[in-house]
Homo-oligomer: A and B are copies of this chain.
Amino acid sequence: MCLRQHLRCSSLKVTIFGAGSFGSAISCVVGYNTERTLIFNSEVKLWLYDEQLESGEYLADVINRDHVNVKYLPDFKLPNNVRAVTDLKEACEDCNLMIFVIPSQFIRSVASQIRKLDIDFSRAVRAVSLTKGFLVENGHPFLISKIIEEELGIDCCVLSGANVASGLAAKEFGEATLACSDYDDAYIWQYLFDTPWFKIDCVPDVICTELFGGLKNIIALLVGMIQGLGCGTNTVAAVMRLGVLEMILYGSIFFNIRSSIMTRVFFESCGIADLVTTCLGGRNVRGGKAFTLSNGQKPWEEIEAEVTGGQHLAGLVTLKEINETLEVLLIEKSIDVDKHFPLFRSCFKIAYTGTPPRSLIDILGRNELRELRFVPSGLLSLIDDSPNHGEVMQRSSSRQVGSLILSKTQSCMQYE
């Protein structure tokens, strides 16, 4: 049933699944809106695995009494209309808008538990995923939104952007991208999330939006590694730029997305803005830096203990997953993944196979001249998938010049 039809009889009920720092922060936004707009039921359910605090109390009880998530977002008050629930059935029944903010590794399990509840999802029910990452199964990457769709049999869209939880809860201005393939649904989601301090842009490109959110943590890890090697902003900026090109290539190879669409979505908050926020010094940057500062000697467990209090670094998890898919690509399709994904690959080798961190610099400064990207239309070919693709002019007309490029001494051979 479409949401609009449902709205003729009653308002839409909202449940947030996951009460970590970001789930709690988004409950501030959603609680604000549902309290003020008739299309939504005021009450927002916040589902969590309950846990006992050091004080002996249970987290859900404390949230419902004090309206503060003392464990994951202690400095901010949640709206009074946000109610913690710990029973999955209670969280799901009657719910129309399901917001998933659960770490990627638990998504399949929670979604499948929900499926087993045998709730009627043929009524107006939609989901949105705020979880960043992938699940790799049999060497192929699966998007979180697709896993939710598959398990629950309902549409799942994606919200992603440059959103640090504490900034969002503090009502510092921020933006996000809502990717949804259905126009009417997008419109409802926008009303649910958009506030004066949190502006939502809606686009129809679900896969690219989710991809950027998942892959950008690898770039953050690389930025940290480069900083740990003592390089300055010239190199950091180069790594970010080259990393973006690998993200786009990844999307076009593994998800068959036209690179022109990837580049357009990159201008949304889920693209450039999320990348910038993540690389301005989040956990992954600090982790990557600590690792290369130790010349690759410090175990990741130790680094994670210092940086995240023992949780896995998201970039590291994604790096492993991505590498698994690249290995499959290498084996099944004989594609030279080291050549096409030099940064993703060397990041993995440095992080996991004892390759010296300094090799990252060698990868960047590979000694050949880069291709001149001239096409008759004046468009760049690298990220272009128009019919002109591949029409990079050969260096033919310049071969006569090339023959004149002779090194002055044997020891400093030029690149050709």
**A residues engaging B (CB < 8 A)?**
3-4, 7, 35-39, 42, 162-164, 166-168, 170, 172-175, 183-184, 186-188, 190-191, 194, 196-197, 199-205, 231-238, 240-241, 244-245, 260-261, 263-265, 267-269, 272-274, 276-277, 279-281, 361, 364-365, 367, 369-370, 372-374, 378-380, 382-384, 393, 395, 397-398, 400-401, 404-409, 412, 414-415
Q: Are A201 and B370 in contact (CB under 8 A)?
A: yes
Write out the residue numbers on chain B whose beta carbons fall within 8 Å of the beta carbon of A39.
Answer: 401, 404-405
- For chain A, what secondary structure do more than half of its interface residues adopt (helix, strand, loop), or is it mixed? mixed
| Given A4-B401, A39-B401, A404-B38, also A199-B370 (CB < 8 A) | yes
- How many whole Å from A415's CB to the nearest CB in chain B? 7
- How many whole Å from A392's CB to the nearest CB in chain B? 11
Q: Are A378 and B162 in contact (CB under 8 A)?
A: no
Write out the residue numbers on chain B whose beta carbons fall within 8 Å of the beta carbon of A38.
Answer: 404-408
Count of identical protomers in the assembly? 2
| Given A372-B190, A378-B205, A401-B7, also A238-B184 (CB < 8 A) | no
The CA of A187 and the CA of B369, in the complex, are separated in Å by 10
Q: Smallest CB-CB separation from A395: which chain B residue? A: B187
Q: Smallest CB-CB separation from A8: which chain B residue? A: B404
Q: Smallest CB-CB separation from A42: which chain B residue? A: B408
Q: Smallest CB-CB separation from A265: which chain B residue? A: B380
Write out the residue numbers on chain B whose beta carbons fall within 8 Å of the beta carbon of A378.
Answer: 204-205, 261
The CA of A280 and the CA of B361, in the complex, are separated in Å by 21
The CA of A382 and the CA of B237, in the complex, are separated in Å by 26
The CA of A283 and the CA of B232, in the complex, are separated in Å by 16
| Given A234-B164, A393-B183, A408-B36, also A373-B276 (CB < 8 A) | no
Write out the residue numbers on chain B whose beta carbons fall within 8 Å of the beta carbon of A36.
Answer: 407-409, 412, 414
Q: Smallest CB-CB separation from A174: which chain B residue? A: B234
Q: Are B184 and A374 in contact (CB under 8 A)?
A: no
Q: Are A183 and B276 in contact (CB under 8 A)?
A: no
Q: Are B414 and A380 in contact (CB under 8 A)?
A: no
Contact with A238, one of B175, B244, B383, B397 (Cβ below 8 angstroms):
B175
Q: Smallest CB-CB separation from A408: which chain B residue? A: B36
The CA of A234 and the CA of B160, in the complex, are separated in Å by 12
Write out the residue numbers on chain B whose beta carbons fall within 8 Å of the beta carbon of A37.
Answer: 405-408, 414
Q: Are B401 and A188 in contact (CB under 8 A)?
A: yes
The CA of A240 and the CA of B196, in the complex, are separated in Å by 19
